[in-house]
Amino acid sequence: MTDLSALRDQVVTLTREVGKFIFSEAANFDASRMEHKGLNDLVSYVDKEAEKRLVEGLEKFLPQAGFIAEEGTKTEQAEEFNWIIDPLDGTTNFIHGLPVYSVSIALIQRDELVLGVVYDICRDECYHAIKGGGAYCNEERIYVSKVPSLSGSLIATGFPYYSFDLMQKYLQVMGSFMQGCHGLRRLGSAALDLAYVAAGRFEGYFEFNINSYDVAGGAILVQEAGGQVTDFRGGKNFVFGREICVSNSPQVQQEMLGLIEPFWKE
């Protein structure tokens, strides 16, 4: 039986080490070594080296686990355990010198998230959770906020940067949120959006065309902090379904889904 508590401690240490490497590279980042994976989809040598270091460490901690990794350092998946990792969530921010980026790691057991770590590199805040163990920022227990309704909520989202076929629908969704909540924010790191919901800084977050490695680490943080996590239809396909809606409470969740649903019908 896997000791999730001990494993979490190992992952936190590794994540902090890799985060320090990323932070050190930010001061003298060589933009000439940047690559384009697709339209507005950037990757740097920092992403690749960070992922390599994460994979090497995680392989030692749980040798039987497979990997779902953004930069493809290792792609073999296992039947029971798989690591889902984003070595640098917020690459565009990093490249432009905007200090909002993170490392995100999750462990999924078959189809259930059991461990998550998100490291806010520039704030030196390491968020972590294991199934049934609560959510923490560094050593402090964290909880979602107690704001009771969407009208008083600060909501995070992301903007589409490729695959623009659903952009008009999404702009309509964002328009509804702008009129229905306290404010709408776009940080550029989905993992931090989720961590900040878990910590009570945001009341909710939603985004589409999102990848598993962007949201898996943060989703369990929200769950363990007492929040709600679903897809846009209120279902459970939020890790691999490419859409996610999270909030601090069932009431706010239903209000958020109610704003999304009219524009997001099949």
Are the beta carbons of 120 and 110 closer than 8 angstroms?
no
Distance from first CA to last CA of the chain, Å, rounded?
A: 42
Task: Cite the annotated binding site by residue number.
Answer: 70, 86, 88-89, 214
Q: Reduced to 3 states, what is the DSSP secondary structure of residue 8?
A: helix
- What integer pLDDT is reported at residue 28 of this predicted model? 81
DSSP string, 55-116: HHHHHHH-TT-EEEETT-S-----SSEEEEEEEEETHHHHHTT-S--EEEEEEEETTEEEEE
Q: Distance between CA 215 and CA 243 in Å, rounded?
A: 9
4-142 — its CATH code? Answer: 3.30.540.10
- What integer pLDDT is reported at residue 47 of this predicted model? 87
How big is the CA angle at 121 (ends 115 and 127), to the nearest 5 degrees? Answer: 30
Are the beta carbons of 5 and 132 closer than 8 angstroms?
no
Say if 4-142 and 150-263 have the same CATH topology.
no
Q: Distance between CA 199 and CA 136 in Å, rounded?
A: 8
Residue numbers in the chain where pLDDT is lower than 70 = 1, 31-43, 161-164, 266
Query: Which residues share a beta bridge with 86?
Result: 104
Q: Express each pLDDT in 155-201 by its tens digit.
A: 999 987 666 677 888 889 999 999 999 999 999 999 999 999 999 99
CB atoms within 10 A of CB 214: 25
DSSP string, 175-210: HHHHHHSSEEE--S-HHHHHHHHHTTS-SEEEEES-
- What integer pLDDT is reported at residue 40 of this predicted model? 39
- Residue extents of the structural domains in the chain: 4-142, 150-263
> Position of tokens 């980026």?
101
Task: Cite the annotated binding site for Mg(2+) by residue number.
Answer: 70, 86, 88-89, 214
Query: Per the structure block, which two tokens stand in for 138?
Result: 């560094």
* Residue 228, C-beta contacts closer than 8 angstroms, at least 6 positions apart: 222, 246, 247, 248, 249, 250, 252, 253
Q: Distance between CA 29 and CA 13 in Å, rounded?
A: 24
Q: Distance between CA 33 and CA 122 in Å, rounded?
A: 22
Q: Distance between CA 68 and CA 82 in Å, rounded?
A: 7
How big is the CA angle at 40 (ends 35 and 43), to the nearest 5 degrees? Answer: 30
Residue 128 φ/ψ, nearest 5 degrees: -150, 155
Q: CATH 3.40.190.80: does it fit domain 150-263?
A: yes
Strands 183-185 and 66-69: unpaired
- What integer pLDDT is reported at residue 199 of this predicted model? 98
